[in-house]
Amino acid sequence: MEWFEALLIVAVGFIAGFLNTIAGGGSLITLPVLILLGLPPAVANGTNRVAIFSQNIFGVLGFRSKGVSDFPYSITLGISAFLGAIIGAKIAVEIPGDLFNKILAILIVVVVLYPILKRPSKDDQPILERTGLKYRIIGTVVFFFIGIYGGFIQAGVGFIIIAALTIINRFTLVKTNSIKVFVVLVYTISALFIFIIEGKIHWGYGLVLAVGNSSGSWIASRLSVKKGDNWVKWFIIVTVIALAVKLWLF
């Protein structure tokens, strides 16, 4: 690996880690870069998981250092997504490279164009979290399918998780992001294991990318708590618009 490649990967990883922690879509940047550097699509997908795993360790620690977390619900969601990710990762390593690229292009467009849903409000009354048994069961089922998607492609899964938690449980965006990084950390373990045993990881690129992702995630997790929900909301909106423009025009 040349020094300029390492610098590029770290820089791209930092941006991706920051985006993934506050909003999502970081893998929409890292995957094309890894493929551009010569990795086959499946190997780029697996290599990206090394950075995702490291990134979310630092994201979880960053949110917890600010006192933001939701246990044991996040553990339940993480286990459900973990099981789904096994299925998704198996699909990813077995699919032909050309078909993978076509599916990736379609999924990216769908995910990025998914609207940022505004939480409903009535007569300016505060929105109460929905954490009863019914909503926790719904969330657990939904996150199994999110795990399948995340295990398969990862790109844009943050937007899906944000939508799920704000619709089902009506969590604030800061709390949603704290749960998101924990869930992704847990299910990435199963996806990463599949990619490892299938030999679909370039460890050199993966570990360098992990340095960038982890740094971006640590800063983003603490900054989002400090700035609050409204700042996170606008950051997500800007991110979605920028990624949509990139996909359509470049």
Q: What is the pTM of this model?
A: 0.81
- Give 146 or 238, the one with higher predicted confidence: 146
pLDDT of residue 123 exceeding 50: no
Gap between the Cα atoms of 141 and 2, Å rounded: 45
Residue type, position 39, single letter: L
Tell me: the pLDDT tens digits for 8-58? 999 999 999 998 898 877 888 898 899 889 999 889 989 999 999 999 999
pLDDT in tens, 27-39: 888 988 998 899 9
> Of 161, 198, 152, 208, which Cα lies nearest the Cα of 183?
161
Q: Is 72 exposed, middle or buried (0-12, 13-18, 19+ CB in 10 A)?
A: exposed
Domain boundaries, the chain: 3-249
How does pLDDT run across 147-188, given as a tens digit for each residue?
A: 998 888 777 788 889 888 988 999 988 899 999 999 999 999
